[in-house]
C-alpha cells in the first residue's frame, strides 16, 4: 500500500488522478520485485514479512493478475460488445 496511512486509509484510491505517476510507480515496484526474486536463493526462500515461500507468493501474484485481466476484459466487452 503506497499512499495509505493510519490517518488516510483510503489514500491508495484517492490519489489515482496522476495516471503517469501511478504507472511509473508500478514500473518501479515491478523492478524492485524482480530484484528481490533474483536475489532469492531459491523459490523455497521465506521472507521476513510473509509466512509462505517465494513460490507461493509468485503464484498468488500471477492469480491476482489473471483475475484483474479477466475483470478488465468483462468491462471492455460490456462497453464495446463481445465482437469488438
Average pLDDT over residues 63-67: 88
Task: At 21, list the grid cell.
Answer: 505517476
Beta bridge partners, 53, equal: 46
pTM: 0.62
pLDDT of residue 34: 95
pLDDT of residue 43: 94
HSE (side-chain half, CA atoms, 13 Å) at 14: 7
- Cα separation, 1 vs 11, in Å, equals 9
Beta bridge partners, 46, equal: 53
pLDDT of residue 16: 60
**1-58: pLDDT as tens digits:** 556 678 877 766 665 667 787 788 889 989 999 999 999 999 999 987 778 999 999 9
User: Would the CA dihedral through 82, 76, 26, 57 be positive or negative?
Assistant: negative
Amino acid at each position: 500500500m503506497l499512499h495509505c496511512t493510519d490517518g488516510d486509509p483510503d489514500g491508495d484510491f484517492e490519489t489515482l488522478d496522476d495516471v503517469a505517476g501511478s504507472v511509473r510507480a508500478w514500473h518501479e515496484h515491478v523492478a524492485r520485485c524482480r530484484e528481490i526474486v533474483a536475489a532469492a536463493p531459491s523459490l523455497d526462500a521465506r521472507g521476513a514479512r510473509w509466512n509462505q515461500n517465494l513460490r507461493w507468493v509468485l503464484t498468488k501474484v500471477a492469480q491476482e493478475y489473471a483475475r484483474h485481466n479477466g475483470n478488465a476484459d468483462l468491462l471492455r466487452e460490456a462497453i464495446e460488445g463481445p465482437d469488438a
